[in-house]
Amino acid sequence: MSTTTARKLTMARAISEAIGQEMAHDPNVLVWGEDVGVYGGIFGATQGLYAQFGEDRVLDTPISESAFIGAAIGASAEGLRPIVELMFVDFFGVAMDQIYNHLAKNHYMSGGSVRHPVVLMTAIGGGYSDAAQHSQTLYSLFAHVPGLKVVVPSNAYDAKGLMISAIRDDNPVMYFFHKGLLGLGWMPSDDWAEVHVPEDRYEIPFGQAQVVGTGTDLSIITIGAMVPKAMKARKLLQPAGIAVEVVDLRTLVPLDRKAIVETVMKTHRALIVDEDYRSFGMSGEIAAILAEEALDYLEAPVRRLAVPDIPIPYSRILEQSAIPSVEAITQAVHALME
């Protein structure tokens, strides 16, 4: 990540800029979804696009997700490159068949002859009392299904590059932006995500994790909004003489297994921090990779910090106990260092 502050953008702005630039270069790129037009997307990911490209390329849809997400399948098979937004990841249940039985599998079932260059983008995450149907991350659910790439940026620079890669990718890509990183003003947002973003079009390749903070004692392997939280914990732990390395996975599919193993070869301790449910998801997958490929390097058991298999509760106090916090990360690091 660049350290210059010359052109700081919010993550929301970085995403809409990436989409706008790709739309300007490729007339086959269209955007559709609920409130993506005049409103500019509930989370601002399509801000300004309607004014720039008009209603032929930025389409507000009815609340008919099976239809408009499924439509991306046919549209992409016939030459378009749709970017489809569905506000919150929590809502995907209503359209899941189109996604996990068709979008994800058609390339395989057709023996490689059918392609779906589709980006499905959505907001994830809690922390502002939106309760069980508006606060989930659920990226592991999609990563579980073969055929979907899964992208979860942690900052504006990555968000732009990963979005451009997603649009240019001929595979279906699930693109998850965390509400607490977007810089929306009306929603608490981590300043850490607002960084320099070059004006030019650049790609960030999928499957390349980034070490965002180096350390020698312990590795925190994480993604999305947990990256800045891990960085805060890292800073808090420095006075105690604990040097934490923070690895931002950036994409779950493809997953940078090499980076996961390499950081543990260096630090010999791993804490996986995940805002998704604990069981059967990202944290378990990474723990399994470490067991398979790095067991000899581990000096302590792998630990996981994730949402403890409960729906996200509404009340602030309850929610704070469900979603991993900087404090919880710090405590988990201490426990692991003992």
Ligand X SMILES: Cc1ncc(C[n+]2csc(CCOP(=O)(O)OP(=O)(O)O)c2C)c(N)n1
Q: Which is nearer to ligand X, 20 or 70 (CB)?
A: 70
Q: Which is nearer to other proteins, 35 or 217 (CB)?
A: 35
Candidate residues 314, 327, 331, 335; the one interacting with other proteins per rule CB under 8 A? 314
Distances (CA, A) of 232 to 61, 189, 220, 251: 40, 14, 12, 21
Candidate residues 108, 315, 327, 334; the one interacting with other proteins per rule CB under 8 A? 315
Residue whose C-alpha is closest to residue 177's, from 306, 30, 45, 68: 45
Compute φ and ψ for 25, nearest 5 degrees.
-95, -20
Shortest CB 130 distance to other proteins, Å: 5
Tokens for 51? 């004014």
Partner that binds at residue 221, options other proteins, ligand X, none, CB closer than 5 to 8 Å by kind: none
In the chain, alpha helices (H): 11-25, 49-53, 65-77, 96-97, 106-109, 139-143, 156-168, 226-237, 257-267, 282-293, 316-322, 326-337
Candidate residues 62, 79, 111, 241; the one interacting with other proteins per rule CB under 8 A? 62
Q: Which is nearer to other proteins, 130 or 248 (CB)?
A: 130
Candidate residues 8, 35, 196, 261; the one interacting with other proteins per rule CB under 8 A? 35
> Nearest-CB residue to ligand X?
91
In DSSP terms, 273 is beta-bridged to: 305
Residue 225 as a binder of other proteins (CB under 8 A): the answer is: no
Shortest CB 223 distance to other proteins, Å: 22
CB 188 within 8 A of CB 32: no
Q: Which helix (H) or strand (E) holds 273?
A: strand 270-277
Catalytic residue among 102, 107, 116, 134: 134
134 counts as catalytic: yes
Shortest CB 109 distance to ligand X, Å: 27
CB 196 within 8 A of CB 6: yes
Partner that binds at residue 67, options ligand X, other proteins, none, CB closer than 5 to 8 Å by kind: other proteins
Residues with a known catalytic role = 134
